[in-house]
Structure 1
Amino acid sequence: MAGGARVLALTGGVGGAKLALGLARELGPRELSLLVNTADDFKHLGLHISPDIDTLLYTLSGRSSRERGWGLEGETWQVREALENLGAETWFQLGDRDLATHLLRSGRLAAGDSLTAVTRLLGRAMGLEPEVLPMSDDPVSTVVHTAEGDLPFQHYFVRRACEPAVSGFSFEGIEGAAPNPALLERLAAGEIAAVVICPSNPFVSVDPVLQLPGLWQRIAQLSVPVIAVSPIVGGRAIKGPAAKMLAELGMPVDAGAVARHYAARYPGLVDTFVIDSADAALADSIAELGMAVAVTGTLMESLDDKRRLARFVLARAGL
């Protein structure tokens, strides 16, 4: 790409981190900026936890647990066991090595550093080259509206294992939250050559990013390709509760429902919607929304899978 040009990828969760890794392997160190959902950040045991940022950092640095898909490989749990013995809440699992990340982040934030500055510090310490940017330095919190009442996201997602039926979502603090200042600088400087919406949960990973004040409109005004990858394959979510959420919201559990959500909530934003070969029959109905449709294998089990999908997406963006 031309000097200074970058791909901007919006990501959250395990599925987003997988494609982000593929993009990072296919692009140069100054050719990729990753904008990460922080609306699932929360305080636990006095620590600031940033689950989506950490999933991305650990995935990009090769430290993530291959079995769990989150947390660190080779983790131990002595602190958790000690906390249990003391009667503390341990429903959100923090491993011994993972705690070091949260302790450093919490200490630097308490000292006055921004979340962006702390994330850069962690990225450098882990040897990362792509730019990892929290969606905002201001606090935003996802609230899940359920049949049992409103729940903070991590209480719904982890403590209740996504059991309560959902009826909607809201994002506390989003009206007063500014998009990441480094991102705004890149947008103003015309440095973004393409935008990729990773196969993340559309409701709780992508929506909080795009609904930051004025952000999706600014992206739409860039006149650069915007490529979204469906997180639903063959009627199911490969990871996470997206399929369950679609069903409980009264929407079809398929890639077309995700495309319709993006088209209705962010009209004109998505130029190309990428679906899996298993969903090829949906291509015509998605195209009626005004999006080009690209069909390929989107399952990412190996690093080769991640790189292949990244190459496909970049090619659709003309890069």
Structure 2
Amino acid sequence: MKITVLSGGVGGARFLRGVREHARGIPEAEITAVVNTGDDMWLTSLRIAPDLDSIMYTLAGENDEERGWGRVGETERVSGELRAYGIGWPWFTLGDLDIGTHLARTDLLRSGMPLSAVTDRITSRWDLGVHLIPATDDEVETHVTVEGGELHFQEWWTKHRATVPALGFVQHYVENSTPAPGVLAAIADADVVLIAPSNPVVSIGTILGIPGIRAAVAATSARVVGVSPIIAGAVVRGMADACLTAIGVETSAEAVGLHYGARSAGGILDAWLIDETDAAAVPALEAAGIAARAVPLWMRDPATSAQLAADALAL
């Protein structure tokens, strides 16, 4: 079975870990993750790829489970020195081990390798059980439109914690970008395409905004099954509610499912998993052409993450 997952950061990483664990019982299972790169940026001359790294560290067993991001056992001496020199963003702390990853990525990029090849090289260090592909090799960075101008997504998200009202989101240079090698084939050749419980606006939305990817999802012969990132009217993690509000979508499992839309009506979903607490939304979703099931969505540990993956594949 070929499983392709469209994924963002922490929520997507935990879901992918569950997909991998469940797939151990599926003969010849192949898992490919198409990963958002809209959060990427240049900082202190390093190319930072937060979602790719969060997923890599999680699948490698190297992530900090308490913080939810970064490497376990991390130190931050280099970031302290940079702050002392007045270099970089003092509110965006990079761990020393994490900087090693960014240095490796930057060196390989500057040697002429595209991001997809760099990602293959970096991830080969660990047996991840999932092939990670950046959605695009091109630099597509998400900015947030606010009163008076724009902020880089990371400044809005990390420094301001999404408290500055967002008027919209702009993916710079997306119109001239192309899917990274392997992305379209991974979608077209899949037996199932899963939409991870990642931010619908700036993670999944950015992936789908790269020319050719939404059309590939619409055209694939695979079933397309999404997992809600909203439980009982609240985001599972992060500030996705602020993103949804900015584009006029209610923070609810039903509203996000309808925002993605049914493939039969020009959207991307065949089916949508929602939490048991949101079971009342099933009739409205099915009336819109989206098969819906209510199951436990909380990914509290590897076992519950694997069960969620099993439920998605069963649907």
Q: What is the TM-score when the length of structure 2 is the normalising length?
A: 0.94
Match of 2:125 in 1: 125
The one-letter code sitting in structure 1 at the alignment partner of 2:139 is P
Superposed displacement of residue 30, structure 1: 5.4
Q: Structure 1 CA distance, aligned partners of 2:258 and 2:147?
A: 25
Q: Mean Cα displacement is larger for which, 12-21 or 216-225? A: 216-225
Q: 2:199 pairs with 198, 201, 205, which one?
A: 201
Equivalent pair of 1:148/1:164 in contact (CA under 8 Å): no
Superposed displacement of residue 313, structure 1: 0.7
Match of 1:310 in 2: 309
Match of 2:38 in 1: 39
Match of 1:259 in 2: 257
Deviations 1:227-258 (A, max 9, x none): 01110101111111112333354432211121
In the superposition, relative to structure 1, how do residues 191 and 311 fare at CA in structure 2: closer, same or farther (>3 Å)?
same
**1:167 and 2:167 aligned:** yes
Match of 2:73 in 1: 74
Equivalent pair of 1:144/1:152 in contact (CA under 8 Å): yes
- Map 1:57-206 onto structure 2 (within 5 A): 57-89=56-88, 90-187=90-187, 191-206=189-204
Q: Structure 1 CA distance, aligned partners of 2:167 and 2:287?
A: 27
Equivalent pair of 2:262/2:290 in contact (CA under 8 Å): no
Match of 2:22 in 1: 26
Q: Structure 1 CA distance, aligned partners of 2:183 and 2:273?
A: 25
**1:286 and 2:258 aligned:** no
Alignment partner of 1:166: what SS? coil
Equivalent pair of 1:275/1:296 in contact (CA under 8 Å): yes
Q: Structure 2 CA distance, aligned partners of 1:268 and 1:252?
A: 18
Q: Structure 2 CA distance, aligned partners of 1:268 and 1:148?
A: 33
For this pair of structures, how many residues does the alignment match? 310
Alignment partner of 2:124: what SS? helix
Equivalent pair of 1:232/1:238 in contact (CA under 8 Å): yes
User: Runs of 5+ in structure 2 lacking a partner?
Assistant: none
- Map 1:201-220 onto structure 2 (within 5 A): 201-220=199-218
Superposed displacement of residue 186, structure 1: 4.0
Superposed displacement of residue 184, structure 1: 2.9
User: Runs of 5+ in structure 1 lacking a partner?
Assistant: none
Q: Structure 2 CA distance, aligned partners of 1:32 and 1:76?
A: 32
Q: Mean Cα displacement is larger for which, 136-145 or 22-31? A: 22-31
Q: Structure 1 CA distance, aligned partners of 2:285 and 2:143?
A: 29
Equivalent pair of 2:262/2:270 in contact (CA under 8 Å): no
% identical aligned pairs: 36
Q: Structure 2 CA distance, aligned partners of 1:178 and 1:307?
A: 32
**1:297 and 2:293 aligned:** no
Match of 1:239 in 2: 237
Match of 2:9 in 1: 13
Q: What is the TM-score when the length of structure 1 is the normalising length?
A: 0.93
Match of 1:226 in 2: 224
Alignment partner of 2:294: what SS? strand
Superposed displacement of residue 286, structure 1: 1.8
Q: Structure 2 CA distance, aligned partners of 1:192 and 1:54?
A: 24
Deviations 1:145-177 (A, max 9, x none): 223532111111112221211121121111111
Q: Structure 1 CA distance, aligned partners of 2:137 and 2:33?
A: 15
The one-letter code sitting in structure 1 at the alignment partner of 2:209 is Q
Q: Structure 2 CA distance, aligned partners of 1:176 and 1:30?
A: 34
Alignment partner of 2:117: what SS? helix
Superposed displacement of residue 42, structure 1: 0.2
Alignment partner of 1:158: what SS? helix
